[in-house]
Chains A and B, each alone.
Chain A
Amino acid sequence: MEKFKEKKFWQKWNLTSPEYQLICQALNREPNELELGIFSVLWSEHCSYKNSRSLLKRLPTEASWVVQGPGENAGIIDIGEEELVVMKIESHNHPSAVEPFQGAATGVGGILRDIFTMGARPIALLDSLRFGNFQENLTQYLYSGVVGGISFYGNCIGVPTVAGETVFSDSYQGNILVNVMAVGLVKKGEIVRAVAKGVGNSVILIGAKTGRDGIGGAAFASVQLSEQSDEDRPAVQIGDPFTGKLLLEACLELAQFEEVVGLQDCGAAGLASSLSEMAARGESGIEVEVSRVPQREMGMSPFEIILSESQERMVVVVEKGKEDRVLNTLKRWDLDSAIIGKVTEEQSFTIKDRGHQVASIPLPSLVGGTPVIKREAKRPEGMEKVNHLDLKEIEEFEDYNQILLNLLTSPNLSSKEEIYQQYDYLVQTNTLIPPGDDAAILRIKGSKKALALTTEGNGRYCFLDPRQGARIAVAEAARNLSCKGAKPKAVTDCLNFGAPENRASYWQLEQAIEGLSEACRFFETPVISGNVSLYNEKEGKSIDPTPVVGMVGVVGDYRQVCSLAFKKENDLIFLLGESEEELGGSEYLEVIHKLKCGVPPVLDFEKEKKIQNFCRVMIEGGFLASAHDCSLGGLALTLAESCLANGLGAEVELKSDLRSDCCLFGETQSRIVVSISPTYYEKFREAALGEGIPFQYVGIVKGNRLKINQWINLAVSQLEKSWRS
């Protein structure tokens, strides 16, 4: 045992000396290698949130419609008519950086298991992706690998990938972000908990056999990537969507059985975390016999069996003596299963190998006893310089035709069809508004209701001002949903940041969580689940802080939804909201002027909510022909996208004293471009005036050219050519 101490063995496991002391205290002795390995993964940031937990407490998590907040595999909200929505977002950044295809594929598999673990049928996937410079060969490799991996897993398992974002920026060079969100439906009263209780009840491991893949993956996810990371490829797991599909169907059957006490996914940290967390939730203990675990390889040690992150495995706790129906169901689905242990009274995690005890850890210290680390936060140096932007120094142009075409060709604003066409976004036949719009809309079969889903996050805004960037991410997600006719209901968040030991990164995290809290509180969209991914750096350089907001909204009547496409000649185009002289942090500044500076746009919560509500009411009343959130690329891009969707042109005259570039490409918040049939004009106007909504008539849908003042005059076909190039 002394040898551990001398060599500081725990450092290899990313544990600190004080943490090692705590472990010794909890055990009342020094741990053996297996026990140390278990502590290492469960006390990693990925599993314990030890660095972020104190900050995460600030997030609002409650509302009358929240059935399950953070703490379970996924969050749940009640949307009425006995229907519950389950959702969660998770990162798979580091595995995807090392092995993009499998990293992304297993990210999809893992998040789906979080959903069906609770007894819910997954109905949608969304992915929020960040890559480095588009021109780099490495980026091309990572990009096609990640898209291929999502396509491979999601398509095969039969869950539609309906929305998401793909952003390219130098800041993610060497540390890409792969955040995957899943949404499911379950009937009220049919939720299954991930709990182990009832002394003597059987613990059954089901699904794939356990192999040596992904050992220590959770710990790997909690350190910085380096040149050596490629050697960590064995820490990346291999996905098998076919087994995943069998597991999904089998688990949904098991969820209906009364004798099933609890169901838990074997995700990060494998059996180590799934067994200990289940037992901790049930205030029980678990005793497991590793020799009973079905193994893929010969001669696996208890350490390898317990810490393996082999995919497509679940743990189910079944009432003692009633295992047959469960085992038969699994057999029917051709899934391996084995009773590997039992629930015990004493709250400890006991591991045996052919009868000999090889580990025994008190659960309260393993699961609840992670030391909470309060880090020091400090605003990064040089923010004044970064936030400086003098518009007088920015050249204005007479003619913006080529600039608009350049923007449409740029990787962040061009068509994402090439990506989402590789995903089956239609399977399950619920997709009413497919990818490519502000949000996806999915009907709920057997109900009049529909769900609206979106993800949103702007790393550049957050780099310039993490708090404001996070506030905007929430507001924009809500606007995306409102533009489609949905009422925002809840959030799942994925916080992608640099190392918390770095005071600047920690400051960014703190600020962003503050911003998320304020906005989620204001928009009444509690955070019901989420994930924290720290250590997103390569060679000491941190990514732009990137909180990604996944949001779900509810549409009362699925027939009253609105897409972004202009529908008919002579429809009138209005801008809800007002443009300001803002260019800070805009896509325009970065793409055209190569500048990443200034401050993000101002956001007035009250005004934002008012405009969103108005837009939603207008859609519910059937008055709008189209509605499109005005965001990245400003008004010009918004108009162009509404034209491109149906190949219709628009004649627009903006009356404004603002600079031409601010008018066209400024990213002022709280703006929505809508088109309406002339017959509804009076009603629309009356309602807007009555509600005190700022609105401006800007033009009409007409012909096949987009004309904006004297600045832009381009054929839609020309726009399309650039957009799709």
Chain B
Amino acid sequence: MKFGVVQFPGSNCDYDCYYAIKNILKAPVEMIWHKEKEHNLKGYDCIVLPGGFSYGDYLRVGAIARYSPIMTAVIDFALKGGLVLGICNGFQVLTEAKLLPGALIRNECLHFICRQQTIRVENIDTPFTKLYQKGQVLKIPIAHGEGCYYADEETISELENHHQILFRYCDARGEITREANPNGSLSNIAGICNRERNIVGLMPHPERAMEECLASLDGRLLFESIVIQLKQRQRRKFCPET
């Protein structure tokens, strides 16, 4: 089992993700350089697109990164069922690459916002959320200027119908309210997955909520869910009869 963290020029949460996986999760992880066009991501089980400002977020957030050489391999990996996690800027890149529906636009307040945020777990039927409980309220920080999730009505209802909305911004009691929505996202959407459930994007930063001293441990179960999934998969591979 091995994680890969993609380094785009301008990624700035790459080391945070690397540290969280290696030092907290104690799972194998490597950095993957954006220029590696021929990379086939063989040997990797989960690819993380980290937060930051890939290519300076010039033109439009995530728009240039989507054409980065490594993305050909990432798209291929994702379409073959590999686990892909996009955090913050990574989520933006995933929508630009059309691996996830919708778009992330400028926050309603028009400026960057960094704070501890409560989100509610909406669906646990994914490799990324299986260790959470449905309805569980998590404290996970956000830090973005373009985190307002937007999609047309049809897409939103499809997301709802196929249980693709994984996290919603909520208040401390778990209520989905207007006030609890930090950026104006439709339906308070904080994180979604694709219909096949192997690609997840979310604006909050689980890698910033992995240790006691960092005010919250709630991000840990997301990464631990992935590890458990991968271990089960490995076991199935080696002992098909079980």
Listed in ascending order, the chain A residues whose CB lies under 8 Å from chain B are 148, 151, 155-158, 240-243, 245-246, 332-334, 420-429, 431-432, 443, 445, 558-559
* Given A422-B112, A422-B113: A427 and B12 interface contact (C-beta under 8 Å): yes
CB-based contact A422/B16 at 8 Å: no
CB-based contact A157/B112 at 8 Å: no
Interface string of B199-213 (1 = CB under 8 A from A): 000000101101101
CB distance from A181 to the nearest CB of B (A): 19
- The yes or no answer to B44 lying at the interface (CB within 8 A) is no
CB-based contact A242/B213 at 8 Å: no
- The yes or no answer to B58 lying at the interface (CB within 8 A) is yes
- The yes or no answer to B20 lying at the interface (CB within 8 A) is yes
CB distance from A292 to the nearest CB of B (A): 25
Interface string of B1-24 (1 = CB under 8 A from A): 000000001101101100110010
Can you list 7 A-B pairs with a CB-CB distance of less than 8 A? A246-B9, A334-B9, A422-B112, A422-B113, A423-B112, A427-B16, A558-B213
CB-based contact A429/B114 at 8 Å: no
| Interface residue from A158, A246, A422 paired with B114 (Cβ < 8 Å) | A422
Which residues of B lie under 8 Å from residue A246 when comparing CB positions? 9-10
Enumerate the 3 nearest inter-chain pairs by beta-carbon distance, A residue then B residue, closest first.
Answer: A158-B12, A242-B56, A156-B53
Range of interface residues on chain B? 20 to 34
* Given A427-B12, A428-B15: A155 and B143 interface contact (C-beta under 8 Å): yes
Q: Which residue of A lies closest to B111 (CB)?
A: A422
Q: Which residue of B lies closest to A154 (CB)?
A: B112
Which residues of B lie under 8 Å from residue A156 when comparing CB positions? 10, 12, 53, 56-57
- The yes or no answer to B141 lying at the interface (CB within 8 A) is yes
CB-based contact B113/A157 at 8 Å: no
| Interface residue from A241, A421, A428 paired with B56 (Cβ < 8 Å) | A241
CB-based contact B208/A429 at 8 Å: yes
Give B88-115 interface residues, CB cut-off 8 Å to A. Answer: 111-115
CB-based contact A424/B112 at 8 Å: yes
CB-based contact B205/A155 at 8 Å: no
CB-based contact B112/A429 at 8 Å: no
- The yes or no answer to B52 lying at the interface (CB within 8 A) is yes
- The yes or no answer to B214 lying at the interface (CB within 8 A) is yes
Give B179-214 interface residues, CB cut-off 8 Å to A. Answer: 205, 207-208, 210-211, 213-214
Kindly list 5 other residue pairs between chains A and B, CB separation below 8 angstroms, not including A422-B114, A426-B143, A429-B19. Answer: A148-B111, A155-B143, A156-B57, A245-B53, A429-B211
Which residues of A lie under 8 Å from residue B150 when comparing CB positions? none
The CA-CA distance from A427 to B58 in the complex, in Å, is: 20
CB distance from B142 to the nearest CB of A (A): 9
CB-based contact B214/A155 at 8 Å: no
CB-based contact B13/A240 at 8 Å: no
Q: Which residue of B lies closest to A558 (CB)?
A: B213
* Given A427-B143, A429-B20, A558-B213: A242 and B12 interface contact (C-beta under 8 Å): no
CB distance from A154 to the nearest CB of B (A): 10
The CA-CA distance from A429 to B143 in the complex, in Å, is: 12
Which residues of A lie under 8 Å from residue B113 when comparing CB positions? 421-422
The CA-CA distance from A420 to B112 in the complex, in Å, is: 10
Q: Which residue of B lies closest to A441 (CB)?
A: B213
Q: Which residue of A lies closest to B213 (CB)?
A: A432
CB-based contact B143/A424 at 8 Å: yes
| Interface residue from B13, B115, B211 paired with A158 (Cβ < 8 Å) | B13
Which residues of B lie under 8 Å from residue A428 when comparing CB positions? 15-16
CB distance from A271 to the nearest CB of B (A): 25
CB-based contact B111/A151 at 8 Å: yes
The CA-CA distance from A554 to B114 in the complex, in Å, is: 26
CB distance from A171 to the nearest CB of B (A): 28
Which residues of B lie under 8 Å from residue A157 when comparing CB positions? 12
The CA-CA distance from A243 to B10 in the complex, in Å, is: 8
CB-based contact A245/B111 at 8 Å: no
CB-based contact B112/A155 at 8 Å: yes
The CA-CA distance from A333 to B34 in the complex, in Å, is: 11
CB distance from B144 to the nearest CB of A (A): 9
| Interface residue from A333, A421, A424, A558 paired with B9 (Cβ < 8 Å) | A333
Which residues of A lie under 8 Å from residue B210 when comparing CB positions? 429
Q: Which residue of B lies closest to A450 (CB)?
A: B213
| Interface residue from A245, A425, A431 paired with B12 (Cβ < 8 Å) | A245
CB distance from A685 to the nearest CB of B (A): 30
The CA-CA distance from A428 to B14 in the complex, in Å, is: 9
Which residues of A lie under 8 Å from residue B205 when comparing CB positions? 426
CB-based contact A242/B55 at 8 Å: yes
Q: Which residue of B lies closest to A161 (CB)?
A: B114
CB-based contact A429/B214 at 8 Å: yes
The CA-CA distance from A427 to B113 in the complex, in Å, is: 13
Residue of A156, A157, A420 with most chain B CB atoms under a 10 A cut-off: A156
CB-based contact B111/A427 at 8 Å: no
Which residues of B lie under 8 Å from residue A443 when comparing CB positions? 213
Q: Which residue of B lies closest to A240 (CB)?
A: B56
Which residues of B lie under 8 Å from residue A151 when comparing CB positions? 111-112
The CA-CA distance from A451 to B6 in the complex, in Å, is: 30
Interface string of B201-242 (1 = CB under 8 A from A): 000010110110110000000000000000000000000000
* Given A423-B114, A424-B143, A432-B214: A242 and B10 interface contact (C-beta under 8 Å): yes
Which residues of B lie under 8 Å from residue A334 when comparing CB positions? 9
Which residues of A lie under 8 Å from residue B211 when comparing CB positions? 429
